[in-house]
Amino acid sequence: MATKHPSCTLHALVVQNGIIAEIPPNDVANYSGPGFVWLHVEGAGHASLADLPGYVPPMAANALLASETRPRCDEVDQAALINLRGTAFDTMQDSDGLVSIRVWVESKRVTSVSRHRLAALSKVEEAMRAGRLTDGGDFVSTLAQAISTELDPQVAEMGDQLDDCEEMLDGGDIYALRRHIARLRNQAIVLRRFVAPDRNALAEMAQLEFDWISKEDRSHLREAADRFARMAEELESVRERAALLHEQLTDLRAEMVDRRSLAIAVVAFIFLPLTFITGLLGMNVEGIPYAHHPWAFWGVVAFCLTVGMAVLGWFALRQWLND
C-alpha cells in the first residue's frame, strides 16, 4: 500500500515466510505481529521529519533525510543506522549513476530512505518473496549483497574498456581515445570515492553485537565488504592505468607533431635553395647568362631538381628521415 505524500511516496510491507502484505504506513510504529515490517520512503529529496514515523530517533531521522551523505554505519542503542550507495534503477541525467540509500535497522523494523529508486531493491524484494528474510539483519545483508553484485559488472566493464583502449593505441584515433580514457578515469575516481566507504560501513556493520544479526548475516556482510574492497582495488588500478595511457597518448601526440614539423622543415629546406636560384635568375635585368637560349628554362629545371635531390639525399644520409 503506497501512500502518496506531497513530498514523497511511502511503502509499508509486512514480510513473513515469503508472504508480503501491505499495511498503512501509520501502522508501522505499532506493529507487533509475526515477521518484520519494512517502511520505505522514496523521493526523499523534499521529505521532512513529519514524513518519518515517531519511533525513529531525531538524530537518525536527520541522518536519513540529509541532502548529502557518505556511506557509514552507526550503532544507536539496539538499532543501527547504515548509509550505502548503489546503482540507480533508472538512468539519471547529470549524475554519477549512484543512489544513496539510508537504512534504520531494528530487529523487527526496517526504515529506508532514498531519493531515487535503487536497482538492488528488486533483488531484496525477490528474497522477501522467496522467504529468505526474517528480520532486519537478513534485510541489510541481502541489500549489501545485492548492491555489490549490481556494481561489480560495471567495474569489470571499465577494466575491459581500458584493455580495448590499450589495443587501439597503435591504430586508433588518438584524440577520441584520449577523451574516452579521460571519461573512464573520472568515472573510476567517482566510483572509488563511494565504493571504499561502502566497504568500511559493511565491515563495521558485521562487527555490531546485535542478536538479530546472525552468523550467516555477518558472513554475507563480510563477503559484500570483501567484494567492495576488491572493486576499490580494481578502480584504483583503472585510475592508474588510465593515467599511464593518457601519458602515452600525450607522448604519441607529441611524436606526431614532431614528425609533421620535421616534414615541414625538410620541405622548407629543399625549397630554400630552389627559391634562391629561381629568384636570382628571375630578376628583370640584363646580363643573366643563357637567358636567350631555348634550352635555358629546362636547364634551370634540371638544375633545381638536382639541387633538391642532393638536399634530400643529405637528409637521408644524416638519417633525419628515419622513423
pLDDT per residue of the chain (323 residues) written in tens, 0 to 9: 445 554 567 777 888 777 888 888 777 777 777 888 888 887 755 555 555 667 778 888 788 888 777 888 988 888 899 999 888 876 654 456 788 889 999 888 888 888 888 888 888 888 888 888 888 899 999 999 999 998 888 888 988 888 888 777 776 677 778 888 888 888 888 888 888 899 999 999 999 888 889 999 999 999 999 999 999 999 998 888 888 888 877 777 777 777 777 777 777 777 777 787 777 777 766 667 766 777 777 887 888 888 878 877 777 776 666 65
- Give ∠ CA 206-208-212 in degrees, rounded to 5: 90
β-bridge partners, 12: 39
User: Where do the structural domains in the chain lie, given as residue ranges?
Assistant: 2-252, 258-317
What pLDDT is stored for residue 50 in this prediction? 54
Asked if the domains at 2-252 and 258-317 fall in one CATH topology, the answer is no
258-317: CATH topology: Methane Monooxygenase Hydroxylase; Chain G, domain 1 (1.20.58)
DSSP assignment letter at 118: B
CA 269 vs CA 13, 14, 272, 307: distances in Å: 83, 85, 5, 11
Q: Write out the H or E segment, with its range, that includes residue 114.
A: strand 109-114
Q: Cα–Cα distance between 17 and 133 in angstroms, integer?
A: 8
What pLDDT is stored for residue 215 in this prediction? 92
**Helix count (H) and strand count (E) of the chain?**
6, 8
pLDDT tens digits for 247-260?
A: 877 777 777 777 77
What pLDDT is stored for residue 93 in this prediction? 46
Q: Give the three-class secondary structure for 174.
A: helix
Kindly report the CATH class assigned to 2-252.
alpha beta
What pLDDT is stored for residue 273 in this prediction? 79
